[in-house]
Chain A
C-alpha cells in the first residue's frame, strides 16, 4: 500500500505534491538507491531487506535478465554471461582494460567502447549498467509508491567525459530522468558536511570497488567548493582481490585456471580480504574443477605486503590534488573515508599517516554517497528551496585539442569550476586549406597519443586563403553535469560546425533510441506511451515552474500585455496536457519555453542584483 505523503514543514510554498526523486550510487561492486523521506535521506531496501544491490547482471538463454544477489550467486557457475564490475568498462575500449586476460568475459572490440558477448547477444556496458539502474528504479518506485520525477546519478570524480556520457546514456536507457551527474566524493561531502556542520578544508578519500578519487573541498557557510580533484579511474578494491587471487594461484603452483575457477577464486580472494578487516588471518579453501584442493592461510602481514604498491598508488593522487589546491596536508581539517575498500585497516593507517590525522569513518562508507545524492536530488527536484547549501564542482582532467605535430593544446584546464566555457582561435597550416579536422582530447599529457581521444569532427567550407589567414574559433562548453560540447566557427564567414562530444565513443541519440526500441521489441505501443508520458511529465513540470515564477515576479517584471501573453501560453499547455496527443503537448511546451525567454532573463538579472545588494551596503559602511 502506498503511504500518504506529508511534506516538510515550512518548505514548499507552491502547492505541489512531494516530487519523488532519488540518488543512485552506481558502484563497481554494489549499487544503492536512496531518497529523502520525511526530511531524512534513507537507503531504500529491496523486499528482502537488502540495501546494497550487487552490481552484477546475468543474461540467460530465454532472454531473462537477473540482477543483484541472484546473479552474484551464479557468477562462478555461469561466468561468461554474468557481468561483474561492468563500471570498469564504461566508456572504455578494449585496449583500456589491461587486465582483460584475468577476466572470464568474451570481449568484443567495438569502436569507442568494448562490448561483451553473452548468451543473449553482444551487450554494451551501457546496456548492462542500464539493467542495474532499471532494478533500482523499480525498487524505488515500489518503496516510494509512485513514479520518479528524476534521479541524481553519482560518478567517480575522476571519470572522464566518455565515462560520464556512458553513465548518462545508461540512465536514459533505464528510463530515468537524470537531474544531475554528481561526483561521488562531492556527494559524500554533502552527507558528511550537512550532518556535522563542518567548516574548513576537507579531503574525501574514496576508494570503491574499481575507482579511486581524492577531492579537496573547502566548506564555507554551506558552500561546498571543490578546490581540486584527482584519482585513478582504474584502481579499486577489485585490484586488491586480484592480488590475492594471483597469490592463491602462485601458492598452488598454477599458471591459469578455467573461467569457472577464475570466478570462484576471485570470490574467495574477496572474502579473504573482507575477513582480514577484523581478523589477523584468513583461511581460503576451495576445490578446483580438476579436483585439486586449495587450503591456504593469508595473514594480514602477507596481505599488506601483496597490496602495498596499490595503497601507495592512491597516495600520489593525494599529493597532486593538494598541490593543485595549493595546500599542505597540515591544512586539511578532516579526511572523510568513502567506499567499502576503505575498511582495509592498512588503508586507514596509510591515509592517516599521509594527512597526519585519524580519518573520519563515522558514516557508513558504503552508503554515504547514495545518501548525499538523495539529499541533492531532493533539492534539484524542487522539494526543498536548497538555499542552505551550494555545490561548486570542477572538471577533473584538462580538455583540449590536437594541434600540429600531435601535441595537445589545453583549452579548459583541470579543476576549472563548472559550468565553464572557453574559446580559442586556431588557423590554417597550408595555403588554400578549406577544411580543418578538430580532434578533442582529455588528459594532462603533452602528446595527444597519451591523452584520451573524445571526438573528431571536421569544419568544412573555409574559403581558400594563405596559410595562417583563416580564423577558426573553437568553443568548449562544460555543463553542470561535467559534460563537454564543442563548436567551431570560421569567424570571417561564420561557417559553423558543432557537436556534443560523444558520437565517437558513446552512443549517438539514434543508438539509444534503437536500444530503447529493442527493449520494447514486442510493443511499439509501449514506446509511444512512454514518449507521451515523458512529454506529460516535462510539460507538467514546465507549467509548475512557470506558475511559480509568475507568482513570484509576474507582477513586478511583466507589464499587463506580457503577463496576459504568458498566462495564455500556460493555459494552452494545460489544455494540451489534459487532452492533447504527443505533438500537441510538445508544441505547447515549446511555445511556452520560447515565450518565457525574456521573463527568465529579467528574473535572472533580478537575482544577481539581489545577491549584490548586500555588498553595496557593505561599501557604504566603509
Chain B
C-alpha cells in the first residue's frame, strides 16, 4: 500500500465506470475500521498523524468513486484527459438548446415545489441516461474524447440539479 496507488487500487477494485457499489462500501468500511483516528487516539504521534493522513486519503478516494460524475472524471484523468479543463468547452448545439429550455423551466418554477420536483425528476432521468452513455463510452468503446463530451453534459445536469436543490431549500 502506498500513496501512489490510484483510488481503484486502494480498494482492490477494477478501474471501470461500472462499479460494484456494495463491494466499494464494504472495502471502505473495512479499511476505515483499521485506520480511523479513533483507533489511534491512544497511540504515539507518528501513528496518529499517519492515521489521519490515511483516513483523509481513503475518504477522498471513496467520495470520488462513489459519485458517478467524479468517478468518470477520475477515470479520464487516469488516462491523462482533463475533461473539465478550461479549453474543453465544446458542446453540441442541440444539447445547449435543451439546457436553455431547462433553465427557463427552472426560472418559471421559482418557489413552486411541485414544479421543481417534477423538473428534478426529469433531470435525474436524463442524468441517468448520460451515466449509461458514460459506461458505454468508457468501459465498452474506450472512446475517451466521446466520454469527455458526455461528462461535460453530465456536469451541466449536476449544476442544474444543484440549483434546483438550492431553490427547494430556499422555499423552507
Contact = CB atoms under 8 A, between A and B. Distances in A.
Contacts of B46: 593-594, 596-597, 599-601
A380 B47 contact: no
A610 B30 CA distance: 9
Contacts of B55: 419, 480
Contacts of B39: 386
Interface residues of B, number: 39
Nearest to A319: B172
Contact of B172 (A320, A387, A610): A320
A611 B56 contact: no
A392 B172 contact: no
A546 interface: yes
Contacts of B54: 604, 608
B81 interface: no
Contact of B52 (A180, A417, A480, A609): A480
Nearest to A320: B169
A600 B38 contact: no
B42 A381 contact: yes
Most buried by A among B31, B35, B38, B42: B42
A420 B59 contact: yes
A349 B71 CA distance: 43
B11 interface: yes
B59 A419 contact: yes
Contact of B34 (A382, A392, A596, A607): A607
Contacts of B45: 542, 593
- Name A's interface SS: helix
A545 B44 contact: yes
B56 A477 contact: yes
- Name B's interface SS: helix
B63 interface: yes
Contacts of B31: 608, 611-612
Contacts of A480: 36-38, 52, 55
B57 to A, nearest CB: 9
Given A421-B56, A545-B43, A549-B47, A386 B38 contact: yes
Interface in A406-442: 416-422
B42 A382 contact: yes
Nearest to B54: A604
B25 to A, nearest CB: 8
B162 to A, nearest CB: 11
A180 B38 contact: yes
B27 interface: yes
Interface string B46-74: 11001110111001101100000000000
B35 A323 contact: no
The 6 closest A-B pairs by CB, nearest first: A382-B42, A380-B41, A607-B34, A480-B37, A600-B46, A611-B30
26 contacts: A223-B29, A380-B41, A417-B62, A418-B59, A420-B59, A480-B38, A480-B55, A542-B44, A542-B45, A544-B42, A545-B42, A594-B46, A596-B47, A597-B46, A599-B46, A600-B44, A600-B47, A601-B46, A603-B47, A604-B1, A607-B34, A607-B35, A608-B54, A610-B34, A611-B30, A618-B23
